[in-house]
Amino acid sequence: MILVSACLLGDNCKYNGGNNYHQEIFDLLQEEEVVAVCPEELGDLLTPRIPAEIVGGDGTDVLNRQAKVINQEGEDVTSNFIIGANRVLTIVNQKGCQLAILKERSPSCGTKSIYDGTFSGTKQQGVGVTTAILEETGIKVYSEEDINQLKTII
Ligand code: SF4
């Protein structure tokens, strides 16, 4: 069972009501058992919603309460992101997922880089909150940008 960011498969769960449909990821998973999740919707945030970024660190720091997730209107949505990540973890444990493919640069789903909290489009190294909680429990997390590597292991 493979966990996937729902927006990569075309679900309109992105902050602006759109999606991040990725044809190659969709094609790769055609014959696989997948569970599609949106951690931010699972964290009780609405779609569309105000975009948010991690301020003061990355997803690991958020879990350690050393960084926050703040939306573009200055509201602290850290608890929503932590709740969403924990609900994803529950699903992963229930379904027995051992691999995840999540959307790069999202404050929830980023696997190698995220935005730096300034809402200026500036990226920094780091993981999203859901990626952090999954990696802590030993789940291997890839992004759509690892498509060539994924084609060799799926
Ligand atoms: S939280 Fe993840 S699944 Fe949901 S829209 Fe953002 S990148 Fe996609």
Quick: pLDDT tens for 56-78: 999 999 999 999 999 999 999 99
What domain range includes position 67?
2-153
pLDDT score at 9: 98
Q: Which atom of ligand 1 is nearest to the CA of 15?
A: 5
pLDDT band at 41 (very low <50, low <70, confident <90, very high): very high
Are residues 43 and 28 in contact, defined by beta-carbon separation less than 8 angstroms? no
Query: To the nearest whole percent, how much of the chain has pLDDT over 90?
Result: 100
Q: 0.85 exceeded by the pTM?
A: yes
* 135: helix, strand or coil: helix
Q: Which of 83, 108, 113 to mutate to test the pocket of ligand 1 (most atoms within 8 A of CB)?
A: 108
pLDDT score at 89: 98
Domain count along the chain: 1
Residue in this structure with the two tokens 């730096």, named with its chain if needed: 116
Task: Look at ligand 1, atom 6, and give the residue with the nearest C-alpha.
Answer: 14
Average pLDDT score over residue span 123-135 = 98
Q: Which atom of ligand 1 is nearest to the CA of 108?
A: 1
Q: Which atom of ligand 1 is nearest to the CA of 8?
A: 8
φ/ψ of residue 14, rounded to 5: -65, 160
Burial class (CB in 10 A: 0-12, 13-18, 19+), 103: buried
Average pLDDT score over residue span 84-108 = 98
Task: Report the relative pairing of strands 34-37 and 2-5 from DSSP bridges.
Answer: parallel
Average pLDDT score over residue span 17-34 = 98
